Each structure stands twice: as structure tokens, then as C-alpha cells.
Chains A and B, each alone.
Chain A
Amino acid sequence: MRLEIQNVGKRYPGDHWGLSAFSLALEPGVLGLLGPNGAGKSTLMRILATVTRPTEGRVLYNGTDIERFPDSVRRVLGYLPQDFGVYPNLTAPQFLHHLAAAKGLNRRIARERIEQLLVLTNLTDARKRALGGFSGGMRQRVGIAQALLNDPEILIVDEPTAGLDPEERLRFRNLLTDLAGDRIVVLSTHIVSDVEATATRIAVINQGKLLTSAVPEQFLRSGAGRSWEMVVPTSELADVRARHMVTGAARLSDGVHLRVVADAPPGHDAVSVPPTLEDVYLHTIRAHRERRAA
């Protein structure tokens, strides 16, 4: 199973490129797609889900061009868009039955899976309530359930944990880990901890371009020697923030404990520490911005 993204670009009206010359090959596992707002993550997700057509380049699923033969992917796809709606007068089972019919699922299996997915997404208590009365998190869980209806080989989830409470977020992360074995999962998010917990590969995207793609260990190694911890008085905090990228701060009795990302020690008492995913991600984005500005 292989999904190849070859030089894909998407131009929007006004000559704005949401994605440009993007290439990546995906194999079974969870790809954590990280990037700031407006980086092009959702554009890529929509292209992979065959909802948007690329302006240039192509995407191949097991060698088949998905733009020319979209059903080759649609048959095995589970897609949770970032923004999606529901029919407010339907209950969750009714809505899922409708989507199961649209996906062409066998009626008996669809019935069973819907009931099980309601349990899996913790929606059984709300099964008789109209979707119009659901909270954002509950709606998101309905979205997750519909994406899993056809036991997809390719699962594309765009900001799936948005609106979920910490407990539900944990459930979803566990679910993604369960799923990862023999299918391609693309998880787009700007929440680094979601990727940290689930991804078998990480890709960073900014301003429509792929900046890096690596397995988590490799990604972390690329940031070695740039993470520091130091303690500064409150009065110096603004000055340090102006000069360096501060990725964490905690006010304690002996001063402010800072986590800083910098190529050289940011202060004489700075101590080098192992990088976190967030450190490396933030450094990658900042370095790209500075290169473009230069």
C-alpha cells in the first residue's frame, strides 16, 4: 500500500498558491502533518481525499492516479475534514446510516459497525438526540465515527482533536495508535503533542511547501544542541524573549525558568537539554521564515 504525492501544487484565485511542488511518499503508519495556520495542510488533505483537484502534479495510490480515478481511493477512504456539517434533525445513527448508504456499505455490516462505532466514540448515551443539539466535541466524535465506517485503508483526519476534551483526546490518540498498523493515516494538526503521541513519521509544512519529513527520532536528532534551559529574573524576561525563541516558561521562587531554542547558548548559565518535538518544529518554522525573509 503506497500513496505517492508527486510535485503537487494548488493555486487559488488571486494567484495564491496554497500548496506548491509538494512531494512525499506515504506507506502504512501515521503521518503527523505539522504546520501553522494557513500552511496548506487542509489543502493537501482535501487533495488526498479527492475533494479538491490539484492545479499541478499528481497523487498515485498503488500506482493509480487518484485525480483520473478518484473512486480508487474513495472506496477505501475515511475522511474527517476540518470543517464539516451535520444534518441537525437527524440522530447520530441516522446520520451514519445515511453516510453508509452514500459509501455503498453492505446494510447488515453497516448496522453493526455503526452501533460499535457509537460505543467506540462514546456516543451511545446520545444516540437518540438530534445532532443539532450536540456540542462541538460530540459532533467531532460523530465525524470520527463516520470516517471509520468503511474500515478505511487510508484515513485522513484534519485537526481531529479540535473541540475534544482531554479525556476524549486521549481516547482518540489511542484509537489512532490502534489503527496505525496496516493502513495509511494522515493526521493534520498544529497540536504537537498529538503528533508526538501517535506519529510514526513527521512532516512539517509551511507556506505551501514541505520543509522536512522524517521519522520522529530523526526529526528530534535534527534539533540536537539547540535546546537550552536557563533561569532569569522577571525583569530580564522581555529582553530574552526579544533575542531568542522561548518555547516554555515557568515562574518559580528563584526566577523564571525558561526553555529556549537557539544555535548558541542564550546566556552564560544556560544548560543544554534534549530537544522536544515542539522545539524542533518551532525552530524549523522560524528558520524557514527567516530564509524567506532574507
Chain B
Amino acid sequence: MSSFRRVFRLALGDFQERSKRFSFLLTLAFVLYAAFLFLPPNHARYATLQMGGHRGIYNSAWVGTLVALHTAVFLSLAGFYLVKNGIERDRSTGVGEVLAGTRLSNRQYILSKTLSNFLVLFAMVVVMVVAASAMQLVRQEESLLRPLVLVAPFLFLTLPLMALVAAVAALFESLPWLRGGLGNVIYYFIWTAMLASSAIRVGSASSGLDPVGFHVAVPQMAAACAEAFPDYDRAHGTFSMGFNIRANGQTWALTTFTWDGVVWTWPVVMGRFLWIGIAFATVLVAGLRFDRFDPARAKSPPRSVRAGVKDKGGPIDPLAPEIAPRLTAPASGELSYASLTPFSGRKRAGWAGQTTRLVASELGLALLGVSRWWYAVAAGASAACLFAPMEVVRAFFFPLAWIWPILIWSALGTREVRYGTDALLYSAPRPLARQLPAIWLAGVIIAAATGAGMALRLLLAGDLASIGAWLVGAVFIPSFALFLGSASGQSKPFEILYLILWYVGPLNKAAFLDFMGTTKDSLAAGAPKIFGLAAAACLIGAFAARRLRLRS
């Protein structure tokens, strides 16, 4: 079998397996809904693309380009997290080791995974194309459907970016330090940087760093707008893409113009296909760094384990005088069960003792393997919250203090499923009433410890409203993590959603979403109340999800 056929068949098999997963079908359903959202009627409360109060009429060119651009933005984030698990799945199921024993080269394997990633994203884009066509007919602003004009933006704008996303996902999975939660966090920042790099060049002469393709489409849209509405300044006029909501719930009344679509010249097309070339280069790099499922090349155990960490309470010598008498060896020279310290389920710790011990154990588990650098940064952020100017603290150090433990929180509620210890733990007494609160409390303690500097500062200032907001934040974060972890069994949903919430709320000061209460606006907007209720709902949800698992 030729190399290409082998790669293609592997990718196809992988795609077929993925396409049968519930998460794939769920994402397809969401894609359909997104297509509906991307094309609002003219007097909706939001607009998805407007230029100084104007937009193109919903013909095939405008619909295709508008939906293709939004799809590129949306799928370059959500799609990455959706497909970044192909190699991990082979690793966890053991299929990877079987493949590693075949003639398949690293490059072929990574290429097949990239192709499979791309096929998943391609399927989403196809659904989006069909949905966009249907929406054009539903909106009825222009009934003539021109398939080629509608498809072209998906082909030249969306798909090259999807190829890049597919390759980057494979690259992240090939590098041990980007494989887990840290990779998820880093990609989010790469994605925001990519959007920023694309967006600031809209209207400029040319751009090499425009993976989404804004620069290809938007200047031509702006030119048509300026032709129809001479008051619109095509060089400096306003352009807004995304979900634009007007103040006080007012509806939009956008005036429309006709735009016939992007003129696809060879240089434009080749410029777009350059991203596919970059995707191939990424695959080559990933192939070089891939460990081929060799456990010996995996990350070395954390320092504490390498050094032989002391058990809680210090190591015990089984032959120490206080224990040795109980270990009287039988005639065979081996220890017998009868000589063990008796227990028989009667000598249990009291409720408080049991819970304290379990919380301490969960806390130790959460922090196991965390490096000294992690503690140094956490302590530094907390100290800075105490001493730096309040404005800088609210804008930077406090948000940093509560984003830093994201990978620790994201493991809450997922560890048992991820490592397969669920059957051991769920068969222990009171898995719901004692184990789950212990996990949650460990998360709250981490939030309180990393935010301690800010709490002390607020206490000293006597700012009771902000202290209340701080408390809500410290409770909300682990509650949110525990809910998403318990419901999904995965850490990824929290890592993504918490990052977005943190980025939009505390960092970019969206008052309603500021769960840390970093500004007076967010306190005035009632954010602490909202997130207090959300924390309670998350806790109830976490208990319900765990209960469901226990009753399965």
C-alpha cells in the first residue's frame, strides 16, 4: 500500500470513529444553530457585521463571506479543542503502542492525525455551508442562490485556516508540555493574538499575518459600502464583526447595499493556500518531536517522587520496634494476613477527623507535582496584591492570582475518571456526602490561599463590598470547576470556559462577567450576586452529576 493511501485510510478510520462520538454530533447541532445566529434579520437586537450602520444585502456573496469569516473565527477556537484529543486517545486506549510497532513513520502518523482533525473540521464547515444556503433562502433578501459564490469564501478563507488548526492541534499533542491543560491555556492566548493580528490590519494595505482572511474580504466589502453610501469612509470607517448589541436593548436598523463578492485573483488564492503550506510545515515539526508512544520518552516524574517523597507523617520502618511485634512471621518465613494490625471496620475516625483528613489528602493530591516556580509566582502575585498600587492590582495582579491555579482547579471532579480510580473511591463509604465536599473544599482553599494578598488588602482598607465579591469569587471558581469536571469527566471544558470568562470579565472589565469584582462597575452591576447564585447552582449541579454517575 502506498504511503499516501496508508495515511488516508488511517485518517478515514480515525474520522469515522470520531464522527460516532456524541460530542461530534453535539458540535454539529451547535454549528447549525450558529449559522442561524450569524445571519440575524434586519431589526434584530444584535448585528454580526456592520459598517457604519450599513451591511450587505443577504445575497450568496455576503452570506457566504459573512458566515465563512465567523466560522473561521469560531472553529479556530472551538474546533481546536474539539480535535485536540486524537493522539491522546490512541495513547490512553493502547492503540498507539500497537501502531508504534508497525512500519508507519512518525511523519505519516502525525499527517494521518492532522488529516483526521481536518476531516472533522471540514464536516463542520460543510454543515455550515448547507445551513448558510438555507438561511439565505429563509431571509429572502435575495432569492437567487449562487452556489459557487457562496462556497468560495469557505474554500479560500475558512478551510486553509482549518488545515492550520488541524496541524497545530497535532503539534500540541506531540509536545509533552503542550499536551495537557497548559497547552489549552496557551492556545487560547495564541488565538486571541491571532485575532488581534488579523483585526488591526483591516483596511491597511497588506498583511502577511492574517490567517482568518479579514484582509482579503473586508476591504472589498468596505469599497462596495463606500460606493453605495458615499458618507462611509472606506479607509477609516467603522467596521464591526461579532455579536454587536446596542445599548438599552435597542434594535438595529442597518441600511443595505449590494455586494457581489470577493474577486478571487491568483495572488489572493495563493496567499490563502500559503496557510496550508504552513500547516504542512507544522506537521513536519510535529513528526520530529513526536515520542511515538514510548513511555521512556515521557515526562519524568515530578521532583517529589524522584526524590522519594515522605509519606504523610513520615516514613515508617515496617520492622521498627513498635510494629515489628505484629509482623511475627509465620513458619514459612512470610508475613501472614492474621499478623496485621486488626481493624475490622470498627476503629474509624470521627466525622470531623475523617473530613479534615480527606480534605488534606485531596489538597495534597491537587498540589502534587507542582513545581517551586509555581509557588513562587503564586506567592509573588499574592504579595503584589498586598503592596502594588490598587489600580494595577485590580487590572493585573489579582486576575493573575486567580488564573494561575487554573490547571489545578480544572482537575477537580475529573481525577477519578481520568485515572480510573472511580470504582475504588465510589465503593468507599459516603462518596457523595464526604468525598465531593472534600474535593470542593480543597479547591476553595487554593482560591483563598492564592487570593490571600488581595483579601488582606481589602480587609485593611475596610472595603466590605469588595471582600464580599472576593468571597464569592473564591467559592465560585472551584464550584464552577467541580461542576464542569463532574458533569463532563474532563478538565478541558473548565480550562476553556474559565479562560474566556476570566478574559472577558475581570481582565477586559465586562461588568456582568467580572466574577472577581475587580471594579466598582461590576459591584454596581450586581456581579457578586449573579456569581453567588451561579456558584450555588454549580454546586448543586456537581452533586447531581456525581450522583448520576454513582447511580449508573
Chain A: residues with CB nearer than 8 A to chain B? 46, 49-53, 71, 74-77, 79, 81, 83-91, 93-94, 97-99, 101-107, 109, 111-120, 124, 127-130, 132-133, 143, 146, 148-153, 171, 174-175, 178-179
- Contacts A89-B368, A104-B348 known; A112 to B323 CB distance under 8 Å? yes
**Which has the most chain A C-beta neighbours within 10 Å: B327, B339, B426, B435?**
B426
Residue of A nearest to B415 (CB): A87
| Pair B369/A89 contact, Cβ less than 8 Å | yes
| Pair B318/A115 contact, Cβ less than 8 Å | yes
Instruction: For the complex formed, measure the closest distance between the CB of B439 and the CB atoms of chain A, giving whole angstroms.
Output: 11
| Pair B423/A132 contact, Cβ less than 8 Å | no
Q: How far is the CA of A203 from the CA of B306 in the complex (A)?
A: 46
Contact of B309 among A77, A91, A132 (CB under 8 A): A91
Residue of B nearest to A81 (CB): B423
| Pair B419/A85 contact, Cβ less than 8 Å | yes
Contacts of A103 in B (CB 8 A): 428-429
Interface flag for B20 (CB, 8 Å): no
| Pair A151/B343 contact, Cβ less than 8 Å | yes
**Which has the most chain B C-beta neighbours within 10 Å: A93, A104, A130, A179?**
A104
24 A-B pairs (CB sep. < 8 Å): A51-B427, A52-B552, A71-B430, A84-B420, A85-B421, A86-B421, A90-B368, A91-B311, A98-B364, A99-B425, A99-B428, A102-B361, A105-B348, A106-B349, A112-B341, A116-B327, A119-B327, A120-B335, A128-B309, A143-B424, A149-B343, A150-B343, A178-B338, A179-B337
- Contacts A105-B348, A124-B318 known; A148 to B337 CB distance under 8 Å? yes
Instruction: For the complex formed, measure the closest distance between the CB of B68 and the CB atoms of chain A, giving whole angstroms.
Output: 39
| Pair B361/A101 contact, Cβ less than 8 Å | yes
Contacts of B354 in A (CB 8 A): 101, 104
- Contacts A81-B423, A97-B312 known; A118 to B435 CB distance under 8 Å? no
Q: How far is the CA of A74 from the CA of B334 in the complex (A)?
A: 30
**Which has the most chain A C-beta neighbours within 10 Å: B312, B313, B323?**
B312
Residue of B nearest to A181 (CB): B338
Contacts of A151 in B (CB 8 A): 340, 342-345
| Pair A89/B427 contact, Cβ less than 8 Å | no
Interface flag for B456 (CB, 8 Å): no
Q: How far is the CA of A174 from the CA of B333 in the complex (A)?
A: 13
- Contacts A94-B311, A112-B326, A130-B301 known; A77 to B335 CB distance under 8 Å? no
Q: How far is the CA of A97 from the CA of B326 in the complex (A)?
A: 20
| Pair A87/B341 contact, Cβ less than 8 Å | no
Instruction: For the complex formed, measure the closest distance between the CB of B454 and the CB atoms of chain A, giving whole angstroms.
Output: 30
Contacts of A133 in B (CB 8 A): 301
| Pair B340/A51 contact, Cβ less than 8 Å | no
**Which has the most chain B C-beta neighbours within 10 Å: A112, A118, A129, A148?**
A112
Residue of B nearest to A79 (CB): B427
Interface flag for B27 (CB, 8 Å): no
Interface flag for B347 (CB, 8 Å): yes
| Pair A153/B353 contact, Cβ less than 8 Å | no
Contacts of B316 in A (CB 8 A): 111-112, 114-115
Instruction: For the complex formed, measure the closest distance between the CB of A150 and the CB atoms of chain B, giving whole angstroms.
Output: 6
Instruction: For the complex formed, measure the closest distance between the CB of A177 and the CB atoms of chain B, giving whole angstroms.
Output: 9
- Contacts A74-B427, A151-B343 known; A83 to B420 CB distance under 8 Å? yes
Interface flag for B529 (CB, 8 Å): no
Contacts of A120 in B (CB 8 A): 335, 337, 340
| Chain B 378-433 residues near chain A, CB threshold 8 A | 415, 419-421, 423-431
Contact of B434 among A81, A97, A104, A179 (CB under 8 A): A104
| Pair B318/A87 contact, Cβ less than 8 Å | no
- Contacts A53-B552, A151-B342 known; A102 to B327 CB distance under 8 Å? no
| Chain B 290-313 residues near chain A, CB threshold 8 A | 301-302, 305-306, 308-309, 311-313
Contacts of B429 in A (CB 8 A): 71, 74-75, 103-104
Q: How far is the CA of A61 from the CA of B493 in the complex (A)?
A: 40
| Pair A79/B302 contact, Cβ less than 8 Å | no
Interface flag for B29 (CB, 8 Å): no
Contacts of A53 in B (CB 8 A): 551-552
| Pair A49/B323 contact, Cβ less than 8 Å | no
| Pair A99/B424 contact, Cβ less than 8 Å | yes
Instruction: For the complex formed, measure the closest distance between the CB of A52 and the CB atoms of chain B, giving whole angstroms.
Output: 7
| Chain B 354-370 residues near chain A, CB threshold 8 A | 354, 357-358, 360-361, 364-365, 368-369
Instruction: For the complex formed, measure the closest distance between the CB of A259 and the CB atoms of chain B, giving whole angstroms.
Output: 33
Instruction: For the complex formed, measure the closest distance between the CB of B330 and the CB atoms of chain A, giving whole angstroms.
Output: 9
Contacts of B341 in A (CB 8 A): 109, 112-113, 116
| Pair A101/B423 contact, Cβ less than 8 Å | no
Q: How far is the CA of A77 from the CA of B430 in the complex (A)?
A: 13
Residue of B nearest to A147 (CB): B424
| Pair B435/A116 contact, Cβ less than 8 Å | no
Contacts of A77 in B (CB 8 A): 427
Contacts of A130 in B (CB 8 A): 301, 305-306
Contacts of B305 in A (CB 8 A): 89-91, 129-130
- Contacts A106-B349, A107-B357 known; A87 to B365 CB distance under 8 Å? yes
Q: How far is the CA of A113 from the CA of B343 in the complex (A)?
A: 9
Q: How far is the CA of A153 from the CA of B344 in the complex (A)?
A: 7
| Pair B419/A88 contact, Cβ less than 8 Å | yes
- Contacts A85-B421, A113-B341 known; A119 to B309 CB distance under 8 Å? no
Instruction: For the complex formed, measure the closest distance between the CB of A181 and the CB atoms of chain B, giving whole angstroms.
Output: 9
Residue of B nearest to A152 (CB): B345
Instruction: For the complex formed, measure the closest distance between the CB of B416 and the CB atoms of chain A, giving whole angstroms.
Output: 9
Q: How far is the CA of A83 from the CA of B348 in the complex (A)?
A: 28
Interface flag for B336 (CB, 8 Å): yes
Q: How far is the CA of A33 from the CA of B434 in the complex (A)?
A: 33
Contacts of A107 in B (CB 8 A): 313, 349, 353, 357
Residue of B nearest to A104 (CB): B354
Contacts of A112 in B (CB 8 A): 316, 323, 326, 341
Contacts of A132 in B (CB 8 A): 301
Instruction: For the complex formed, measure the closest distance between the CB of A76 and the CB atoms of chain B, giving whole angstroms.
Output: 5
